[in-house]
Amino acid sequence: MRLSLAQPQGRLFWGQAVLVACCLFYVCFWRAAFHPYRSAAVPFGGKAALFLCTLLCGIGGVALTVSGVGLVGKKPVSQALLVVGGAAAYVVLLLLTTLLWKRRVTTELVLLVAWTVLELSALNALYGAGFFGKGGTALFAGLCAAALLGGLWCYLRYDQLPPLPAFFLGYVPLLLDAAVMAGLCAAIFFRAKNAI
């Protein structure tokens, strides 16, 4: 199986797997820290440990994914273009959500956009390395777009709901992102297995 850390597909596989773990730790942290009626019963140490696990997995997963993207020299779309496009998308979404929909600004918006840019960068690298074809790349790009739109819908609805429904809605973007990345891990794994 060709999923060594010396190869881009290996780093991308492990990066995505660690980011799935990050999402799952974040789900646990969200439950411990933000449940409107039960979070007070969770000790501070438990919340801090879950947050630390989330943070470490997030940093590790991003580092592995970015380094995997960097191992691919020739990509169909310039990495700079993806980053600049992501920054522009964030500014547009920030203006729309604050001015048009009166949504208060929170870190979730930047996380939604940054995650999408990271995933598109990974797909760009997998396609550039010849590991994914056009069909697989388009499929996962569509799933990333769907997860982004789903996350944006939750972001806009969150402040409009009572505490308990808003709390449960907070799970949705995390689970959508985790599902997309788990699917990408599975696709990389089976592609590598069949290439032997």
- C-alpha torsion 135→137→138→142, nearest 10: 140
Residue 28, pLDDT > 60, answer: yes
pLDDT reported for residue 26: 98
Burial tier of 160 (Cβ tally within 10 Å: 0-12, 13-18, 19+): exposed
Question: Each residue of 117-152: pLDDT tens digit?
Answer: 999 999 999 999 999 999 999 999 999 999 999 999
In degrees, to the nearest 5, what angle opens at C-alpha 97 toward C-alphas 91 and 100?
115
Tell me, yes or no, if the pTM score tops 0.85: yes
Q: What length does the chain have?
A: 196
